[in-house]
């Protein structure tokens, strides 16, 4: 099936998936302008993301030579270095398209259960009343009717699925209205549980929990990459808070040095020396998964589920060279080969991703919980597309079972990684 020109069969499948063609209509979000009130994060469309206050370009693609040198400084993994080079060279252009895509209703609206209880650890009740971590559902009349109908129709219960999204309700939250950033919330307890209890620590991985010859190490590496992406977003929020001239509270003061926080969270001599390498690894998995979902995403464009403007941006992303770069697919091939070799235990990966989703209910910052759930769903969707139930990936005949909310989370999480990678490049240039 051609990615650019779906066949008649694809059109028929489109009707079966989408039913009546009814383009999703959007609504306008009024973004806050400077100065920000204390604790709020910069909206991801602010001019700062494209220029510094002085007007110098902070993004920009790197030359192949400088990208190769930068990649070598971050990793000694010769398998990943060519893909890291390619990302450093091309990420800026891809980020710009992804950043625009996140502005569209299909990719920014999620029905999330914000009241679910934590089932994994005892917690003292933490009431979040500050605007740094609190979020509110959008007005019901602002939710595109077609989008809500699709979410209601598609929701089902899969006993052994890769993730289990919340039951749809009338409460939808807007990731653009409440963007990720620095909130002052300390999520270390939850992350410690994730790495210690949800991650794998088998005997074969005692000496190398991220690069041992098993899919379990690949899983750990991807989860560590997800953590690194979140850490990059947090440090980016600290920078934005300083640039906005906002004060840090006494509790937040310990985090007020962005360079120190970057080195602690993401540096080669920090808490996780392979944090940034693992982030690139996970980004590579996400890129290949989006390529794998190309025809399914294009069907939603043809059906009208994705509005015309969003569809145009999405098609540009799906045609972007980086998605088909063989150096990028190294990560997914490694995961695939390991999964096929040990496919009888792959059920453990699906169980762990479901646990990863549920542990998000232990996050007591509501903004963090929202973005955590979307990011976990994005990662689990990527793993589902790449290895499926038995290690071979999701078959073309099963693509109709990939839901709107999963596709939206996949693209949103890809955008999160592109933003995090971009920010890390900027910080590394400033620190070096």
31-79 confidence digits (pLDDT tens): 333 222 333 333 332 333 433 333 334 455 666 667 777 888 888 899 9
Specify the 3-state DSSP secondary structure of 57: strand
**Using an 8 Å Cβ cutoff, are 367 and 183 in contact?**
yes
Q: Which pLDDT value is given to residue 153?
A: 94
Specify the 3-state DSSP secondary structure of 117: coil
Range from 83-92, 154-163, 228-237 carrying the lowest mean pLDDT = 154-163
Which of the pair, 207 or 294, is modelled with greater confidence?
A: 294
- Distance (Å, whole) CA 315 – CA 299: 11
- Distance (Å, whole) CA 28 – CA 33: 15
User: Phi and psi at residue 263, in whole multiples of 5°?
Assistant: -65, -40
Range from 32-46, 109-123, 334-348 carrying the lowest mean pLDDT = 32-46
Q: Which pLDDT value is given to residue 127?
A: 61
376-428 pLDDT tens trace = 999 999 999 999 877 777 887 788 789 999 999 999 999 999 999 999 999 99
Q: Which pLDDT value is given to residue 212?
A: 95
Using a cut of 0.75, tell me whether the model's pTM lies above it. yes
Q: Which pLDDT value is given to residue 129?
A: 53
Q: Which pLDDT value is given to residue 63?
A: 66
Q: Does 231 have pLDDT greater than 70?
A: yes
Please report how the helices 275-292 and 81-101 are oriented relative to each other, as an axis angle in degrees rounded to 10: 60
Q: Which pLDDT value is given to residue 62?
A: 67
Structure-derived torsion over alpha carbons of residues 366, 379, 232, 38, reported in degrees to the nearest 10? -20
Q: Which pLDDT value is given to residue 126?
A: 66
- Distance (Å, whole) CA 204 – CA 188: 27
Q: Which pLDDT value is given to residue 159?
A: 85
318-337 pLDDT tens trace = 999 999 999 999 999 999 99
- Distance (Å, whole) CA 38 – CA 274: 33
Average of per-residue pLDDT values in the chain: 85
- Distance (Å, whole) CA 18 – CA 297: 12
| Closest listed residue to residue 222, CA positions, set 291, 162, 164, 181 | 162
193-204 pLDDT tens trace = 999 999 999 988
Look-up: residue for tokens 């950033």? Answer: 181
Please report how the helices 215-243 and 366-387 are oriented relative to each other, as an axis angle in degrees rounded to 10: 150
Q: Which pLDDT value is given to residue 87?
A: 98
User: Phi and psi at residue 65, in whole multiples of 5°?
Assistant: -65, -50
| Closest listed residue to residue 400, CA positions, set 287, 274, 296, 250 | 296
Q: Does 177 have pLDDT greater than 70?
A: yes
- For residue 119, count CB atoms less than 10 angstroms from its CB and return exposed for 0-12, middle for 13-18, buried for 19 or more: exposed
Range from 47-56, 146-155, 293-302, 339-348 carrying the lowest mean pLDDT = 47-56
- For residue 246, count CB atoms less than 10 angstroms from its CB and return exposed for 0-12, middle for 13-18, buried for 19 or more: middle
C-alpha gyration radius of the chain: 20
Q: Does 264 have pLDDT greater than 50?
A: yes
Q: Which pLDDT value is given to residue 333?
A: 96
**Using an 8 Å Cβ cutoff, are 311 and 425 in contact?**
no
């Amino acid at each position: 099936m051609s990615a650019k020109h779906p066949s008649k069969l694809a059109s028929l499948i489109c009707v079966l998936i989408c039913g009546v063609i009814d383009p999703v209509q959007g609504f306008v979000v009024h973004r806050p302008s400077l100065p920000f009130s204390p604790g709020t994060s910069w909206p991801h469309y602010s001019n700062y993301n494209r220029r510094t206050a002085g007007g110098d370009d902070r993004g920009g693609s790197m030359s192949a030579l400088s990208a190769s040198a930068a990649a070598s400084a971050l990793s000694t993994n010769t398998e990943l270095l060519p893909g890291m080079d390619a990302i450093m060279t091309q990420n800026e252009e891809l980020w710009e398209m992804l950043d625009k895509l996140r502005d569209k209703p299909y990719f920014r609206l999620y029905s999330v259960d914000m009241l679910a209880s934590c089932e994994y650890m005892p917690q003292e009740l933490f009431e979040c009343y500050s605007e740094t971590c609190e979020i509110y559902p959008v007005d019901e009349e602002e939710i595109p009717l077609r989008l809500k109908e699709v979410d209601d129709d598609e929701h089902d219960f899969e006993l052994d699925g890769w993730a289990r999204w919340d039951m749809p309700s009338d409460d939808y939250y807007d990731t653009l209205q409440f963007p990720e950033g620095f909130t002052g919330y300390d999520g270390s307890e939850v992350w410690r549980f994730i790495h210690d209890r949800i991650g794998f620590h088998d005997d074969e991985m005692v000496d190398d929990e991220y690069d041992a010859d098993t899919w379990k190490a690949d899983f750990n590496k991807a989860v560590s990459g997800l953590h690194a992406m979140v850490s990059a977003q947090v440090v980016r929020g600290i920078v934005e808070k300083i640039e906005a001239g906002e004060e840090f509270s006494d509790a937040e003061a310990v985090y007020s040095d962005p360079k120190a926080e970057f080195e602690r969270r993401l540096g080669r001599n920090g808490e996780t020396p392979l944090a940034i390498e693992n982030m690139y690894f996970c980004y590579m998995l996400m890129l290949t998964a989006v390529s794998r979902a190309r025809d399914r995403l294009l069907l939603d464009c043809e059906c009208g589920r994705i509005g015309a403007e969003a569809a145009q941006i999405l098609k540009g992303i799906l045609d972007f060279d980086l998605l088909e770069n063989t150096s990028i697919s190294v990560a997914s091939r490694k995961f695939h080969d390991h999964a096929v070799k040990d496919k009888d235990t792959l059920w453990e990966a699906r169980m762990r991703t479901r646990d990863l989703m549920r542990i998000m209910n232990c996050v007591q910052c509501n903004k963090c919980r929202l973005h955590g759930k979307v990011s976990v769903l994005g990662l689990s969707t990527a793993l589902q597309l790449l290895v499926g139930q038995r290690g071979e990936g999701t078959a073309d005949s099963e693509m109709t079972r990939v839901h709107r909310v999963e596709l939206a989370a996949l693209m949103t999480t890809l955008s999160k990684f592109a933003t995090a990678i971009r920010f890390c490049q900027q910080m590394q240039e400033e620190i070096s």
